[in-house]
């Protein structure tokens, strides 16, 4: 069950640099490539001639050429040409709205006429020179909603990430969750704690002492269909915590674009944006590697959780206060899916 009328991150630009990319988004097998104007495009990964995956082909003059018999597909899903063939009567395949923004290629798997670029949330810091960004991609064998649960309840850091960002104080402070329209915010604030290893390093990278009492915060923000941005940071205690002057804190934004592939698998675009030392490429690389390792720790837990749930699908799970972020996020997803189903054009086709 996915929201279809929404923008999802399909890939990063480097993934379509050298050749087309085949990737499944919300159950749609897509071939992603760049057209003659250099604009990213997505069409069904299915050649209308004999069903070969178009992504196995190549791009020539902005057309996606099937690697089997040379059919040339346009970014609009219309066949442009094929050797020795008249292609006017060839069936058109589906093309998908695509936008390139913030260093990502976004795709809209739902009804094209509803695809409005303005519906891509604003992530200005992803495009600002005052910020640096580093990230990566994991393919994870679980329902994308288990990943949303994971990110909207950071209590798990104490257990899953005990050696890096976890610390007992996280689980000792109850988070607060509130819903604001289609946004869910879960906040947790810890006072006068010791910075855990990851944050101690961030303080040092920020030229701040790492051995003094700190305030720490985690503010998780879900926006549909499945984005979770987390403001995280520490400040030297007594300077206002989250609101402290930049001189006293190290903070960043954990970026999570979660793109369903099938009902039980997803693509997880993870990263971190920071607004200190943005030009320090070595620091960016080092943070990325730390994050890659940390987020890899979630992987086994999530995939094994999925297998457990799939084996006993009838079994009820608990929804505790710490789970409120995930529970509220799922409610919004469910509401949006229900609304899509009620849409007149969908009722007609049902």
Which residue ranges make up the site for a second copy (CB under 8 A)? 29, 45-46, 48-53, 56-57, 65-70, 82-85, 90-91, 149, 153, 155-156, 158-160, 171-174, 300-301, 304-305, 308-309, 311-312, 315-318, 320-323
Distances (CA, A) of 60 to 51, 80, 81, 291, 296: 20, 12, 12, 37, 37
Sheet holding 79-81: strands in order across? 58-60, 63-65, 72-73, 79-81
* Residue given tokens 């995280």 in the structure block: 232
- Asked if 328 and 180 count as a contact pair (C-beta separation under 8 A), the reply is no
Nearer to a second copy, 58 or 131 (CB): 58
CB of 118 to a second copy, least distance (A): 33
- Asked if 184 and 151 count as a contact pair (C-beta separation under 8 A), the reply is no
**Which structure tokens are listed for 220?**
């998780």
Nearer to a second copy, 173 or 223 (CB): 173
Distances (CA, A) of 288 to 11, 295, 318: 18, 10, 33
CB of 76 to a second copy, least distance (A): 19
CB of 198 to a second copy, least distance (A): 19
Nearer to a second copy, 46 or 131 (CB): 46
CB of 155 to a second copy, least distance (A): 5
CB of 322 to a second copy, least distance (A): 7
Distance between CA 327 and CA 304 in Å, rounded? Answer: 20
CB of 10 to a second copy, least distance (A): 18
CB of 258 to a second copy, least distance (A): 17
Nearer to a second copy, 65 or 200 (CB): 65
Distances (CA, A) of 126 to 33, 132, 152, 190, 292: 23, 8, 21, 27, 19
Nearer to a second copy, 45 or 215 (CB): 45
Rg (CA), the chain: 22
CB of 2 to a second copy, least distance (A): 17
Nearest to 180 by CA among 339, 328, 4, 323: 328
For strands 183-193 and 21-25, give the pairing.
unpaired
Q: Which bin fits 119, alpha (ψ -120 to 50), beta or left (φ > 0)?
A: alpha
CA 12 to chain centre: 11
Nearer to a second copy, 57 or 271 (CB): 57
Nearer to a second copy, 317 or 350 (CB): 317
CB of 108 to a second copy, least distance (A): 21
- Asked if 33 and 27 count as a contact pair (C-beta separation under 8 A), the reply is no
Nearer to a second copy, 56 or 337 (CB): 56
Cβ neighbors of 322 (< 8 A, separation 6 or more) are 153, 155, 174, 175
Nearer to a second copy, 49 or 216 (CB): 49
**Which structure tokens are listed for 297?**
């720790």
Distances (CA, A) of 29 to 25, 90, 225, 325: 7, 20, 19, 31
């Amino acid at each position: 069950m996915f929201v279809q009328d929404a923008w999802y991150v399909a890939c990063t630009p480097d993934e379509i640099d050298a050749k087309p990319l085949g990737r499944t988004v919300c159950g749609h097998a897509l071939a992603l490539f760049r057209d003659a104007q250099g604009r990213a495009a997505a069409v069904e990964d299915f050649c209308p001639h004999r069903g070969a995956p178009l992504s196995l082909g190549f791009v020539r003059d902005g057309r996606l050429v099937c690697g089997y018999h040379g059919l040339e597909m346009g970014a609009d899903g219309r066949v442009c040409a094929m050797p020795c063939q008249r292609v006017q009567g060839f069936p058109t395949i589906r093309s998908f709205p695509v936008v390139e923004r913030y260093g990502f290629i976004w795709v809209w798997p739902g009804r094209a006429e509803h695809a409005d670029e303005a519906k891509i949330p604003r992530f200005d810091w992803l495009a600002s020179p005052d910020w640096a960004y580093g990230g990566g991609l994991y393919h994870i064998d679980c329902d994308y909603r288990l990943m949303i649960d994971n990110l909207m309840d950071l209590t798990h850091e104490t257990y899953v990430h005990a050696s890096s960002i976890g610390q007992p104080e996280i689980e000792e402070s109850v988070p607060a969750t509130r819903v604001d329209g289609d946004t869910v915010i879960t906040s947790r604030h810890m006072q006068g704690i010791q910075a855990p290893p990851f944050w101690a390093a961030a303080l040092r990278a920020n030229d701040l002492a790492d051995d003094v009492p700190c305030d720490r915060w985690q503010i998780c923000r879900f926006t549909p269909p499945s984005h979770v941005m987390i403001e995280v940071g520490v400040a030297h205690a007594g300077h206002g915590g989250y609101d402290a002057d930049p001189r006293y804190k190290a903070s960043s934004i954990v970026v999570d674009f979660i793109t369903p592939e099938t009902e039980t698998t997803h693509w997880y675009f993870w990263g971190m944006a920071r607004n200190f030392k943005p030009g320090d490429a070595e620091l960016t690389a080092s943070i990325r590697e730390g994050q890659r390792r940390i987020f890899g720790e979630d992987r086994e837990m999530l995939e094994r959780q999925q297998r457990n749930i799939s084996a006993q699908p009838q079994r009820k799970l608990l929804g505790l206060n710490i789970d409120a972020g995930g529970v509220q996020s799922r409610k919004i997803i469910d509401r949006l899916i229900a609304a899509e189903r009620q849409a007149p054009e969908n009722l007609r086709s049902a």
